[in-house]
């Protein structure tokens, strides 16, 4: 399924029961499936550390490093202010 939304840091989009989060990574933006690797906490409700580009999960405060976050990336393309992602169809 193709989904489009505003291309900006910390923009969240819901597709079916799944949330996706747009994040800064280096000079660009990436989109991740926003479940924490611990127990699936909503990383989009967590705390962003600009300096380290890590997210602290709101549930048990596990730090999700850029490397960990990168494992949750979904295919995305940015054109201007529009981010397009390809995600599985909702069940
Ligand atoms: S679910 Fe994120 S730290 Fe536990």
Give domain limits for the chain: 2-86
Q: Which two tokens stand for residue 23?
A: 């994040």
Residue 47 beta carbon below 6 angstroms from any ligand 1 atom: no
Which residues make beta-bridge pairs with 23? 30
Pocket test for ligand 1, best of 19, 21, 36 (most atoms within 8 A of CB): 36
Using CA atoms, how far apart are residues 14 and 16, in angstroms rounded to an integer? 6
Predicted TM-score (pTM) of the model is: 0.92
Q: Which of 90 and 57 is assigned the larger pLDDT?
A: 57
Average pLDDT, the chain: 95
Residue 36 beta carbon below 6 angstroms from any ligand 1 atom: yes
* Model pLDDT, residue 26: 87
Using CA atoms, how far apart are residues 54 and 70, in angstroms rounded to an integer? 11
Burial of 50 (0-12, 13-18, 19+ CB in 10 A): exposed
Please give the distance, rounded to the nearest whole angstrom, from the Cα atom of residue 74 to the centre of ligand 1: 20
Q: Which two tokens stand for residue 38?
A: 């611990």
Listed in sequence order, the residues at least 6 apart from 55 whose beta carbon sits closer than 8 Å to its beta carbon are 23, 43, 46, 47, 48, 49, 63, 64, 69
The residue with tokens 């910390």 is 10
Residue 42 beta carbon below 6 angstroms from any ligand 1 atom: no
pLDDT at 91 over 80: no
pLDDT at 88 over 90: no
pLDDT at 89 over 90: no
What fold is seen in the domain 2-86? Rieske Iron-sulfur Protein (2.102.10)
Residue 60 beta carbon below 6 angstroms from any ligand 1 atom: yes
């Amino acid at each position: 399924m193709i989904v489009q939304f505003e291309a900006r840091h910390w923009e969240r989009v819901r597709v079916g029961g799944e949330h996706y989060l747009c994040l800064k990574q280096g000079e660009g933006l990436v989109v991740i499936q926003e479940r924490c690797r611990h127990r699936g906490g909503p990383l989009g409700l967590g705390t962003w550390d600009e300096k380290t580009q890590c997210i602290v999960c709101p549930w048990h405060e596990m730090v999700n490093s850029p490397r960990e976050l990168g494992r949750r990336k979904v295919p995305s393309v940015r054109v201007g202010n529009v981010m397009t992602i390809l995600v599985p169809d909702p069940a």
